[in-house]
Each structure stands twice: as structure tokens, then as C-alpha cells.
Structure 1
């Protein structure tokens, strides 16, 4: 498969990278994935986005480079409007952007809560983070997993009080999702079709429900920590969880892009 002018620099298991992939896929845009190694990725991302935070995703689209999933969403909407993911200017567009911003923040708490239980629950972090990489990177990733745990704990403040705070913020996000949907899993967050609000909420909440088609489906060889498995079961019984499963089932399909591993 030939390369494209678009390259997404990413971590396969990052839910913010999942958001960026979904945005590109929803627009029908071909792109190449470039998997970066955690830690070493900062040398690449800071070279690409000199004023950025050194995080992923980073999208290079021709002459344009963007280092934030929201910036990516807005760029794609401006540049490729033929498959709209935002309503026309007006109250519905404003609401979609407000919900995108809100669930973007909820995603921060999902990440802290999930990593907190993965680290504290003794899950195989190396196998989880590096399963999509070629064999040499998988081997290296499992070797450096203890260092990654230490870095994650410090970077995301993964300590018991903060993890509990994130749990409450995450549950508040699920409650708001249900209010916005009026407890109807068949609805969309804004209007009658998929928007950036739906993509943001679904992708950033997907580590909790682990729907098929997400980077986090249930796998017998990688059982989640008990707290994560319990919340996933509870969520699937709620309108929010049923909405997540529906949106993934109906909208998260694409041809596999060319994969290059760094």
C-alpha cells in the first residue's frame, strides 16, 4: 500500500490517539500510522511541534502539523468539510464544541483512573502498551515497563487521592452523557448524526466499557484489574454504556491503514 501525505504519530493504546484515528476515519481520509516508543517519543514530537507539550497524537497533514486532538478535529473540519462532523454555525455547533471540550477533560480522568488500577492492580503494563508493536519493540517495552510505571505515576499524579478524585469526575461524565442523551442510547449528542462530540465522548470513555473495535476489547490473555472489570460490567447495564457499544458498533469501522513502527 503506498504511503500518504498524512502521518499520525501515536501510541496504539492512547484514547486520545484513538480519537484522532476515528476523526480521520470518519472523514474517509487515508493516513499512515507511526507508532512511537513512550519516553523516546518526546524527541520526535518536540521536533515536529516545537511549541507543543511533547505528547501524542501529532498529525502531519501535508504542510500542516498539529499536536492536539482538538486542534486535529478543527483542522480536519476546516480542510475537509465534505464529510461534516460539526453542525453549521449556530447553537448546535456551539453545543457540539462545548461537549467536545467537556469530554476531552473527562478523558484526563479516565486515563488517571485506568492507569492507577493497571499499575496498582499488577496488570502486565508492558504487554498492554506494546502488543501492537513489532517483536523487538515488544521485548524492549516489557523490559522498560517498570520505568514507564514510575514515569506515569509522576506525570499523571497517580496517587490514591487523585485516582479517587478522577473516579468521581469520570462518573460525573457518565451521568452527564446520559442526561445529554435523555437516557436514550439510540440518540446522538447533537442533532441526528455523528459529530465530534460523539467521537470525543465515545473514544475517551472507551477504556471503561472496552467495546469491540476499540483498542481495549476484552481479552482472555490480558484480564483487566478487578475494579476495571467491575465498572465495565456496571457501565454496560447503563444507557451510557449501551450508547458506547452502539456508537462503536455502528460507526467505528475502517480499512487498516499502512502501519510503520518507529
Structure 2
């Protein structure tokens, strides 16, 4: 049994970190978040054998992938708090959706969001530096010009890839729209699951929920083309679902 709070190493703005953060919060497991901005997070993750974020440090081991984190947490909570159904068929459906969102939605929303914001230093400063050590925030003006081309290359950010990402997002949203068409409350079965957390967290960059812990910029302060598409995503059943989950997040 864990005696001390978990340690969660994050890039605070990362939607994969938000996935892990949400699971810990939902399961009411005590944790301390250690946020870092690019590239300083590597100093923290390298010490514990991780390459990227999130990293969860527990007394039972170190977990360096958001899905691995959720599966570990699921093993240590009571049956009535599980993020993965005990029913084999339902669990398979949750895991298939989680994989879809991890592999397709997450990269697409990140690429599309960065396409609109990578050149906005003030926008990124507020999001990259939330909760980070003082010296990291102080170094942002020096680090940002160096990291901008690195991020562009790492995530393949350009107009063509952004257009492809937008279509990918629409495709995943359409699948979720279809799942929600029968009026169900959650994506799989009768209970909130890892599929719901993963979809909401990874869709957040294109929904910009007001309740997101990394305070989003009001739509009127975003570029018109970006804001109008966010508004359109919000009006879909999938987008409305994300907004509802964020409203209910701490309940």
C-alpha cells in the first residue's frame, strides 16, 4: 500500500499528462505534480528512466506512459472505482477506444493546436510555465526561440499536416458522435471509464473547456479561424460531451 503521495512529473500543458492527472483526481489518490517546461522536463524524467511525460513515481515502480499509469492505478483501487470494466468484453471495448484516442486523436489535436499557437510566445508562456520552478519560467524568453523549431520538427507542424490533423480529429469525433447517438451517458457500458478520460483529455486542445486546470485563453482572444473551429467542435455531440465531463470532473 502506497504510504506517500505519488509523484507525477508533467509538462503541465500536455494533454497526455492531463489524462494521468485526471485519473489520479478521479480516483482520489493523493499525488504531487512536478511540472516542467520543455526542455527542462528531461532533467526530471531522465533521472527516473523516462524519456517523456507523464511519469508516475510510486513505491511499487515507475510508470512512463499514460495508459500504463491508468492501468496501474486501476489495479490498486476498489472494484467500485475501476477505470476498466471487470467484464472482459467491455474492457476490450474500453482499451480499443483508449488506443484509438492515444494513437490518432492525441497527436492530431496537439499538431493542430500548435499550428495555431506555436508562434504566439505569450500564449505559450502561460501554458508552458504554469506550475514550473521559478528558474524555468525566468528562462522562457531564452528557451522559447530555441524550442520553437524543435517542437515544429518533432510534431511535424506545417499547414499540410495541420489540415490532415483537422480531418483526423473530425473522423474520431464522428466515431464518438455515433457512440453517443443512442443517448448513453458514457462511451462504454454504464460507468465512467478510461475511455472517457482519454477522449476528454486528448480532445481538450480543440474544445478548450473553461474548467481545464491549465486555464484556457478565451475564444475571443484566439485567431478567428482557430476560434471558429473550436466553436464548431464544441457544438458536436462529442464536443458537448467533453464540456460536460469537464464540468463534472471534480464531482
Using structure 1 for the length normalisation, give the TM-score: 0.86
Q: Separation in 1 of the partners of 2:120 and 2:37?
A: 23
Alignment of 1:240-259 (within 5 A): 240-250=238-248, 252-253=249-250
For the structure 1 residues 157 and 95, does the alpha-carbon distance in structure 2 shift closer, same or farther, using more than 3 Å as the test?
same
For the structure 1 residues 115 and 86, does the alpha-carbon distance in structure 2 shift closer, same or farther, using more than 3 Å as the test?
same
Q: Which residue of 2 aligns with 1:189?
A: 187
Q: Which residue of 2 aligns with 1:73?
A: 70
Q: Which residue of 1 aligns with 2:45?
A: 45
Counterpart of 1:206 (choices 204, 207, 215) is 204
Provide Cα deviations, 1:170-193, integer angstroms capped at 9, x if missing partner.
111111111111164x62001112
Alignment of 1:125-164 (within 5 A): 125-133=124-132, 135-164=134-163
Structure 2 unmatched runs, 5+: none
Aligned-residue RMSD, C-alpha: 2.3
Q: Which residue of 2 aligns with 1:33?
A: 33
Q: Which has the higher helix share?
A: 2
Provide Cα deviations, 1:232-261, integer angstroms capped at 9, x if missing partner.
2112222111111111111x128xxxxxxx
For the structure 1 residues 131 and 27, does the alpha-carbon distance in structure 2 shift closer, same or farther, using more than 3 Å as the test?
closer
How much has 1:145 moved relative to structure 2? 1.3
Provide Cα deviations, 1:120-167, integer angstroms capped at 9, x if missing partner.
567632233214335543231233211121110111111222222111
Q: Separation in 2 of the partners of 1:140 and 1:102?
A: 36
Q: How many residues align?
A: 247
Superposed structure 1 runs of 4+ greater than 6 Å apart: none
**Which secondary structure does the structure 2 equivalent of 1:248 belong to?**
helix
For the structure 1 residues 229 and 221, does the alpha-carbon distance in structure 2 shift closer, same or farther, using more than 3 Å as the test?
closer
Using structure 2 for the length normalisation, give the TM-score: 0.90
Q: Which residue of 2 aligns with 1:258?
A: none
Q: Separation in 1 of the partners of 2:216 and 2:41?
A: 27
